[in-house]
Amino acid sequence: MLDRIRIVLIGTSHPGNIGGTARAMHNMGLADLALVAPRCEPLTSETISRASGADTIVHGARRAETLEQAVADCTLVVGASARSRTLPWPMITPRTLGARLPKELSGAESRVALVFGREDSGLSNAELQRCHAHVHIPTNPDFSSLNLAAAVQVLAYECRLAWLAQQEEPEGSEAEPNQPMASHEELEHYFGHLERTLIAIGFHDPALPRQLMARLRRFTLRARPERMELNILRGILTATEKQVASAQDGPRHESDDSDTPSP
Amino acid sequence: MLDRIRIVLIGTSHPGNIGGTARAMHNMGLADLALVAPRCEPLTSETISRASGADTIVHGARRAETLEQAVADCTLVVGASARSRTLPWPMITPRTLGARLPKELSGAESRVALVFGREDSGLSNAELQRCHAHVHIPTNPDFSSLNLAAAVQVLAYECRLAWLAQQEEPEGSEAEPNQPMASHEELEHYFGHLERTLIAIGFHDPALPRQLMARLRRFTLRARPERMELNILRGILTATEKQVASAQDGPRHESDDSDTPSP
């Protein structure tokens, strides 16, 4: 899907923005860049510096004199635009654009172009009117002009998310490689051990519970402890009990509750 | 909501990235920037050129020597990170982060910090372990290193979308008022207290750390402690320390390390 998305830059003035665009594209898995009538030399040391290794995309870029040439084979052309224009046009958000991409790009010959205008003046009305729709990146109304490469970054990011969703990669999954979680029984043993220890150190009086154990339960359960973490916590309790025994008895006793795994 | 989100840049090397960050922030309606131990002069002509009018944000930036100082008052600290680390940490997507922000920021004293590391080496493990969660911007695995300002742009964009979505929700659907959460500074005081206590009870040897503190940090940060819960935990540590003191000073005559073997 991503290989059918073309980024089109019209009349770019700053080589650094071309380099930054190439980097943003490559980061997000896009590779098809078209430069329409650039107003600078596209490949300078600044391009290469900002591209940070993605300058191959600039080397391979299509060159065109007009928008029409650059998007001739595209089945959907979307222009990046500020919100207000004299002639209202279908306006979509970047997120809506992303949501539409999988369907738009399902055909073998389908191509989507995302078109970005000049740093100083954006896209002309004529260019905007060659687009199927306009996409507006929501910005602070008091400071709405995005850097060109930053605008490309945001739309390329939405393209990648749409592609990932299509791959059915789980979103927001935790990074943990399935450490065994503590079982209910292990948790209850821990809470019992915790309460005995808190009584032993004089922190907890079962006659005046003040919801202490309830609060500690809620806190601990919220974290969804792994078994190994619970073992650490029980090891701490056992070490604490040894201190209590030394403090009270002089000659130390091991605690009776010696069902504690070592950490 | 957006005024309670802080962008924290650690050890930035290139003034242009600071300018680009300021522009990305201002575009998305963020204003709170913190610079931790920058490795360049933050305000140069390149900063001002890339900021494109947003250099007021750099002028007003907090300066700090350490991450701790920069996020001391923050109730949620999220570090931008590549996916794989030796000790897995809760990992969220930028979109999940955005979805969480309205609730996270519903309390009057809540603050969220989004932390970005060095251009060449990112965040250190110690810095990552001071974060509640890590956020990973999905990228092309073959070219995964985003430009710093581009990474800020993507997360700031998600912050703005979350804020816009909140504006559209009918009144009365606000998140329930939360208990005050523990701040970063309170958490760090707790971790310091915890480590001292674990050493005192003989459970932790800083010369052989075995990731013990990292594991306890991860567990605790995952639970997102409320201030009251942290007070309980610190009370337990203080009660434990008293036991250690009596064990050492009390009327007993054995040598310190003569652990009596169980019969």
User: Model confidence at B162, in pLDDT bands (50, 70, 90)?
Assistant: very high
Q: Which of A220, A232, A243 sits opposite B240 (nearest CB)?
A: A243
Is the CB of B27 less than 8 angstroms away from the CB of A150? Answer: yes
Rounded to the nearest angstrom, the minimum Cα separation between B60 and chain A is: 17
- Specify the 3-state DSSP secondary structure of B225: coil
| Strand extents, DSSP E, A98-181 | 112-116, 133-135
Residue A135 half-sphere exposure toward CB, CA atoms < 13 A: 27
Under an 8 A CB cutoff, do B137 and A153 touch? no
Closest alpha carbon to B133 in B97, B162, B91, B170? B91
Report pLDDT digits (tens) over B82-116. 765 667 888 999 999 999 999 999 888 899 999 99
Residue A137 contacts residue A155 (beta carbons within 8 Å) = yes
Q: What whole-number distance in Å separates Cα of residue A257 and Cα of residue B218?
A: 28
Contacts of B27 in chain A (CB under 8 A): 139-140, 143-146, 150
Output the CA torsion B58→A116→B146→B42 (10° steps).
Answer: -20
Q: How large is the angle between the packed helices B212-223 and A212-222, nearest 10 degrees?
A: 100
pLDDT in tens, B113-130: 999 999 999 999 899 999
* pLDDT tens sequence across A64-94: 999 999 999 888 899 998 765 666 778 899 9
Which chain B residues touch A249 with a CB distance below 8 Å?
252
Task: Respond yes or no on whether ipTM tops 0.90.
Answer: no
* DSSP annotation of A64: E
Q: Are B32 and B58 in contact (CB under 8 A)?
A: no
Chain B: closest CA distance from residue A126 (Å): 27
% pLDDT > 70, chain B: 89
Task: Compare all CA atoms of chain A with the CA of B245 and give the residue at the minimum distance.
Answer: A247
Residues whose CB falls within 8 Å of the CB of residue A105, separated by 6 or more in sequence, listed in order: A1, A4, A5, A111, A112
For residue B143, the chain A residues in CB contact (below 8 A) are 26-27, 53-54
Which has the closest alpha carbon to B151: A246, A20, A139, A186?
A20
DSSP character at residue A164: H
Instruction: Tell which of A50, A171, A201 to mutate to test the B interface (max B CBs under 10 Å).
Output: A201
Q: Is A59 helix (H, G, I), strand (E, B) or coil?
A: helix
pLDDT 10s per residue in chain A (263 long)? 999 999 999 999 999 999 999 999 999 999 999 999 999 999 999 999 999 999 999 999 999 999 999 999 888 899 998 765 666 778 899 999 999 999 889 877 889 999 999 999 999 988 988 888 899 999 999 999 999 999 999 999 999 999 999 887 444 444 444 577 788 788 889 999 999 999 999 999 999 888 898 889 888 887 878 889 999 999 999 999 999 998 887 644 444 444 444 44
| Domains, chain B | 2-168 (3.40.1280.10), 184-249 (1.10.8.590)
Phi/psi at B222 (nearest 5 deg)?
-60, -35
The closest CB to that of B153, out of A154, A215, A246, belongs to A154
Mutate to test the interface with A, among B30, B57, B163, B201 (most CBs of A within 10 A): B201
